[in-house]
């Protein structure tokens, strides 16, 4: 393989026969929320301390998604120029109201914020503080038919001392402020512990709050409904793991299509891979949402918490077409006519919908009947969230995020050369390890198994400079190259975690300041670093294999870095040369003496 042969593909959920497989995004898009605007779809997710924050994705069929923007380029509040593990943007809600797109989100220590835009692809307003508060999380706005506006949120026990509760406020119609002191409308302590992530809707005369409960790894999706927005609310569990491998299926949002279908998007906690995104068929029975497929062996009437009921709907045979499901031995529509199934989809024998009990996540299903699907315009090469980058654009790919507010002097794109230059600037004062380094450029793990490869060349490096490939989590692992006096380099596998000094796991001398670096990842996160000195034709293992770890509320990430480890050496050298220890933006862009590392492409190949 040549590193300049950048692969464009990753995890593809679209099966090309009118069906899709879950997850629809095998990457850490935590706490997703979605909306439909004229049968086009938009999704936001949590981004925590990673910047730019609040990734915004777009789809025309609910299955194939691509990143189109970030709502928050940086978070200009005190402290966010440094790495704030697990802080930052939590559980956003996305809405379209009065001709504008709005995102509400919380930060656990500062409060509830709102951003808005007329064009989701364009520039969003800077975060506006709706209400300062500590531990108020997961806000969701709602506008009623009478013009009144509301906001519901949950609590983080670690900051507020409260949990299991949902609180409702009157809100100014423009979403800029809350109008009262709020009141608790749902207490999930007994039946729905760890209640959070509420999404507020209205349908058919009922107010609905979709809210996950039971915890991230083992919880379920609850739904509450009432005739008055103030309650009292009845409740049901509508989605749970059941007999599937999909743990904790919950926290997301639902949309209704012009075709009449309803669909629910949620996450699954997948350890090092983060909170990956699933799509569930959904219907309404007796004014309750019904999600997923029938639980095997279910029976009996539905109870308060949604035990599976009798009378399964959609028995897998032609004729039951409420959601376009196809039976055993059939395939989804090829001519886009509603109710027409053809041969082929052998794995759809479980395409059944339960009546009212808690559903189970589907593995494979007929694609939603969106406008794009029914017109055939969604066919062709499906979209996926961006991964590989040839660095030939004037801007960084939207898949990249820094560990803190980005600084322009950290990097320079060189499109004509197809490379990205990272400057080896000193670590900030108080930053003693790779784990707390802000200038790590990372992206999400994109699939169960993949190789990530980049070609690295050192320029003007000092003995204290380092650059290389990073796998980041609660324990970060990096393959870093530093220069030797003979013109070669030393490749080191470095382990880094909170509160501990960085440790060298393995090292090898190479006779070049140019090397191709690679990490091979296999499910469930087994990793091995490799290097090549012949342009990527042959690779040699280095160091010790390791298991990728998730970070604080996030999955593992992979990417690149360059930094100056020895501040004293760098400062004295800078003084001798008569220039500042931390170069200015102009100096970094044009200086002939600033240590830097050129990365020629970053290629991710799903295997």
CB proximity list for 175: less than 8 A, separation 6 or greater: 97, 102, 104, 114, 116, 130, 141, 149
Residue 361, phi then psi, degrees to nearest 5: -60, 145
Judged on CB neighbours under 10 Å (0-12, 13-18, 19+), 204 is exposed
* Three-state secondary structure of 416-457: HHCEEEEECCECCCCCCCHHHCCCEEEEECCCCCEEEEEEEE
* Three-state secondary structure of 377-425: CCCCCCCCCCCCECCCCCCCCCCCEECCCCCHHHEEEEHHHCEEEEECC
Q: What is the dihedral of CA 72, 122, 69, 172, to 10 degrees?
A: 50
Helix, coil or strand: residue 474? coil
Residue 532, phi then psi, degrees to nearest 5: -140, 140
- Catalytic status, residue 432: no
No. of helices (H) and no. of strands (E), the chain = 4, 39
Rounded to whole angstroms, the Cα distance separating 545 from 526 reads 7
Rounded to whole angstroms, the Cα distance separating 526 from 517 reads 17
- Catalytic status, residue 31: yes
- Interior CA angle at 249 toward 346 and 403, to 5°? 115
Query: Among the options 31, 39, 61, 390, which is catalytic?
Result: 31
What are the C-alpha distances in Å from 286 to residues 124, 302, 353?
40, 11, 14
Sign of the torsion angle spanned by Cα atoms 309, 310, 314, 320: negative
Judged on CB neighbours under 10 Å (0-12, 13-18, 19+), 578 is exposed
Please state, as a whole number, how many other Cβ atoms lie within 10 Å of the Cβ of residue 573: 18
Residue 573: DSSP 8-state: H
Residue 604, phi then psi, degrees to nearest 5: -110, 125
Encoding tokens for residue 32?
A: 């997703």
Rounded to whole angstroms, the Cα distance separating 566 from 277 reads 41
Query: Among the options 196, 235, 269, 389, which is catalytic?
Result: 196
Judged on CB neighbours under 10 Å (0-12, 13-18, 19+), 55 is buried
Sign of the torsion angle spanned by Cα atoms 132, 133, 137, 139: negative
Residue 96: DSSP 8-state: E
Residue 272: DSSP 8-state: G
Catalytically active residues are 31, 196
């Amino acid at each position: 393989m040549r590193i300049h042969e950048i692969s464009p593909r990753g995890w593809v959920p679209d099966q090309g026969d009118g069906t899709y497989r879950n997850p629809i995004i095998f990457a850490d898009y935590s706490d997703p929320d979605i909306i439909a605007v004229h049968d086009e779809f938009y999704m936001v997710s949590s981004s925590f301390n990673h910047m730019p924050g609040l990734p915004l994705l777009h789809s025309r069929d609910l299955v194939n998604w691509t990143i189109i923007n970030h709502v928050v380029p940086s978070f200009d509040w005190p402290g966010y120029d440094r790495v704030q593990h697990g802080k930052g943007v939590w559980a956003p809600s996305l809405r379209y109201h009065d001709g504008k797109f709005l995102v509400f989100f919380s930060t656990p220590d500062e409060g509830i914020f709102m951003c808005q835009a007329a064009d989701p692809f364009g520039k969003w307003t800077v975060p506006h503080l709706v209400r300062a508060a500590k531990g108020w999380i997961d806000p969701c706005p709602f506008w009623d038919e009478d013009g009144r506006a509301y906001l519901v949120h949950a609590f983080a026990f670690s900051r507020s001392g409260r949990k299991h509760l949902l609180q409702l406020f009157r809100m100014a119609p423009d979403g800029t402020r809350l109008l009262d002191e709020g009141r608790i409308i749902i207490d999930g302590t007994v039946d729905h512990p760890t209640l959070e992530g509420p999404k507020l809707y209205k349908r058919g005369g009922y107010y609905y709050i979709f809210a996950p409960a039971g915890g991230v790894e083992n919880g379920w999706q609850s739904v509450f409904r009432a005739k008055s927005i103030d309650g009292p609310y009845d409740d049901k569990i509508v989605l749970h793991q059941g007999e599937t491998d999909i743990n904790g299926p919950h926290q997301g949002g639902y949309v209704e299509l012009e075709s009449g279908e309803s669909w629910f998007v949620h996450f699954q906690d997948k350890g090092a891979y983060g909170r990956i995104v699933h799509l569930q068929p959904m219907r309404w029975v007796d004014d309750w949402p019904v999600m997923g497929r029938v639980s095997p062996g279910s029976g009996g009437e539905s109870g308060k918490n949604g035990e599976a009921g009798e009378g399964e709907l959609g028995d897998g045979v032609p004729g039951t077409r409420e959601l376009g499901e196809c039976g055993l031995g059939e395939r989804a529509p090829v001519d886009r006519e509603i109710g027409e199934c053809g041969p082929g989809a052998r794995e759809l024998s479980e395409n059944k919908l339960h009546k009212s009990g808690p559903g189970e996540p589907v593995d494979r299903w007929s694609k939603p009947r969106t406008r794009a699907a029914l017109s055939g315009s969604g066919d062709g090469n499906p979209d996926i969230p961006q991964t590989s980058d040839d660095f030939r654009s004037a801007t960084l790919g939207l898949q990249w995020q820094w560990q803190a507010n980005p600084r322009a002097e950290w990097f320079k794109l060189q499109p004509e050369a197809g490379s990205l230059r990272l400057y080896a600037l000193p670590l900030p004062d108080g930053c003693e390890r790779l784990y707390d380094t802000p200038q790590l450029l990372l992206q999400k793990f994109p699939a169960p198994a993949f190789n990530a490869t980049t070609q690295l060349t050192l320029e003007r490096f000092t003995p204290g400079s380092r650059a290389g490939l990073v796998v980041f989590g609660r324990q970060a692992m990096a393959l870093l190259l530093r220069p030797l006096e003979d013109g070669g380099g030393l490749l080191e596998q470095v382990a880094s975690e909170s509160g501990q000094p960085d440790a060298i796991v393995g090292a090898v001398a190479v006779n070049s300041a140019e090397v191709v670096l690679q990490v091979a990842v296999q499910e469930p996160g087994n990793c091995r670093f490799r290097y090549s000195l012949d342009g990527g034709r042959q690779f040699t293992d280095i160091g010790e294999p390791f298991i990728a770890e998730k970070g604080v509320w996030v999955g593992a990430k992979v990417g690149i870095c360059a930094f100056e480890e020895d501040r004293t050496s760098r400062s004295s050298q800078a003084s001798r040369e008569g220039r500042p220890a931390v170069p200015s933006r102009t100096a970094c862009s044009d200086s002939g003496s600033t240590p830097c590392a050129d990365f020629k492409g970053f290629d991710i190949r799903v295997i």
